């Protein structure tokens, strides 16, 4: 009988102590229910938003995972067994499943989609053609409504979504400022991604650097919240837009954090702040993909893939991602 390893959420994590909160377990593969499919997982996507699923907070963008449940996230792999005629065995798919060797999903509930099997590197379905790229595209083009010549600021700019948002902004004609932690990341932003300015929040005064932008910042792609948002708000142009994609600064807290100290600037500068969640846009994937594919094929939309091998090492990769120790998109290779 085939055994299936999986990560289980045993308790709510304290800070970044994930080893005390999750355990790697094993069980025999169970029979599928009607309408379910089994995916042999090739790769797991490490995404900051899943940290909220581990907390007890019920006011997030989706309910928390119950304790004792299999940990969930985006998976990429092939269907190995199916009880849904619309999803044949062998199909390469991406969707929300479990951190496991084999994920069992109901396609409609998991946002399952068949993806192009002909890419030279199918991992790009977690990169320039993946959900992070969709998030960057929607956030920059539609929510932040960037226009050619405007200034766009991106926080967590060397991460998966941030690095893609920088490139989307550049491709749409914006002047881009990336905020990241450390000189190596800032060099990457300038030399590899072509941003116009990189700010090291660990060693520089972010607000002071942004104050040098004549006329102010027109749009902010916010992955972080917290003090960085306070640094940006007073330096925005009148009628600027803030696209709130993530709040990494608050994910490891089990209670809400206080709002921005500079919230008065929303009125003073007539700003628009809008949160968005990419699963709300999944039905528009066919619209986004041709643009992203053209940019990817042309080399103007890329992402560094930070890969860790082995399901058993998932927590190592997850911590690297959340603590900002990685460059680009963090993934876990589960199987070939």
- CATH at 155: 3.40.50.720
Residues 259, 225: Cα–Cα separation, whole Å: 9
Residue 255's pLDDT is what? Answer: 64
Overall number of domains in the chain: 2
User: For residue range 19-42, what is the model confidence (pLDDT) as tens digits?
Assistant: 999 999 999 999 999 999 999 999
Q: What is the CATH number of the domain that holds 49?
A: 3.90.180.10
Residues 306, 320: Cα–Cα separation, whole Å: 10
- Considering the domain architecture, whether residues 200 and 99 belong to the same structural domain is answered as no
Residue 13's pLDDT is what? Answer: 94
What domain range includes position 220?
131-279
Q: Where are the beta strands (DSSP E) in 142-232?
A: 151-154, 175-180, 197-200, 217-222
Residue 60's pLDDT is what? Answer: 73
Asked if 274 contacts 256 with a C-beta cutoff of 8 angstroms, the reply is no
Residue 283's pLDDT is what? Answer: 87
- Considering the domain architecture, whether residues 141 and 25 belong to the same structural domain is answered as no
- Considering the domain architecture, whether residues 266 and 315 belong to the same structural domain is answered as no
Residue 250's pLDDT is what? Answer: 55
User: For residue range 235-245, what is the model confidence (pLDDT) as tens digits?
Assistant: 999 999 999 99
Q: Is residue 286 part of a domain?
A: no
Handedness of CA 134, 233, 207, 322 (dihedral sign): negative
Give the number of other CB atoms < 10 A from CB of residue 269: 16
Residue the block writes with tokens 């860790």? 308
- Considering the domain architecture, whether residues 170 and 256 belong to the same structural domain is answered as yes
Residue 131's pLDDT is what? Answer: 93
- Considering the domain architecture, whether residues 108 and 210 belong to the same structural domain is answered as no
Given 241, 264, 279, the domain boundary residue is: 279
- Considering the domain architecture, whether residues 122 and 135 belong to the same structural domain is answered as no
Instruction: Decide: pTM greater than 0.95.
Output: no
pLDDT averages per 10-residue partition of the chain, 336 residues: 95 92 97 97 95 85 90 98 98 97 96 94 95 96 98 97 98 98 97 97 98 97 93 98 83 68 95 93 89 96 97 97 93 95
Asked if 332 contacts 317 with a C-beta cutoff of 8 angstroms, the reply is yes
- Considering the domain architecture, whether residues 194 and 218 belong to the same structural domain is answered as yes
For 163, residues 6+ apart whose C-beta sits below 8 A from its C-beta are 157, 189, 193, 303, 304, 328
End-to-end CA distance of the chain: 21
Residues 77, 333: Cα–Cα separation, whole Å: 10
């Amino acid at each position: 009988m085939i055994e299936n390893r999986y990560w289980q959420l045993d308790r709510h994590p304290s800070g970044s102590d994930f080893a005390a909160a999750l355990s790697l377990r094993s069980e025999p593969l169970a029979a599928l229910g009607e309408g379910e499919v089994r995916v042999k997982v090739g790769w797991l996507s490490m995404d900051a938003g899943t940290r909220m699923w581990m907390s007890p907070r019920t006011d997030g963008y989706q309910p928390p995972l119950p304790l004792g449940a299999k940990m969930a996230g985006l998976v990429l792999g092939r269907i190995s067994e199916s009880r849904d005629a619309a999803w044949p065995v062998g199909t390469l798919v991406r969707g929300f499943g479990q951190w496991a060797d084999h994920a069992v999903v109901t396609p409609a509930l998991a946002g399952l989609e068949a993806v192009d099997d002909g890419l030279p590197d199918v991992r790009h379905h977690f990169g320039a053609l993946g959900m992070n790229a969709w998030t960057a595209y929607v956030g920059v083009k539609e929510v932040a409504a960037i226009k050619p010549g405007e200034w766009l600021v991106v926080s967590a700019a060397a991460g998966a979504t941030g690095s893609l948002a920088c490139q989307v902004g550049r491709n749409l004609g914006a002047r881009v400022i990336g905020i990241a932690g450390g000189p190596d990341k800032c060099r990457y932003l300038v030399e590899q991604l072509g941003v116009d300015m990189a700010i090291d929040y660990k060693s520089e005064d972010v607000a002071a650097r942004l104050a040098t932008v004549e006329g102010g910042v027109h749009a902010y792609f916010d992955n972080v919240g917290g003090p960085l948002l306070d640094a940006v708000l007073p330096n925005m142009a009148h009628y600027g837009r803030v696209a709130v994609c993530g709040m990494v600064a608050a994910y490891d807290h089990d209670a809400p954090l206080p709002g921005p100290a500079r919230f008065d600037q929303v009125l003073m500068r007539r700003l628009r702040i809008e949160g968005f969640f990419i699963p709300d846009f999944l039905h528009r994937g066919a619209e986004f993909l041709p643009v992203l594919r053209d940019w990817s094929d042309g080399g103007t939309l890329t992402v560094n893939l930070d890969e860790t091998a082995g399901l058993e090492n998932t927590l190592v990769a997850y911590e690297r991602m959340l603590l900002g120790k990685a460059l680009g998109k963090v993934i876990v290779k589960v199987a070939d």
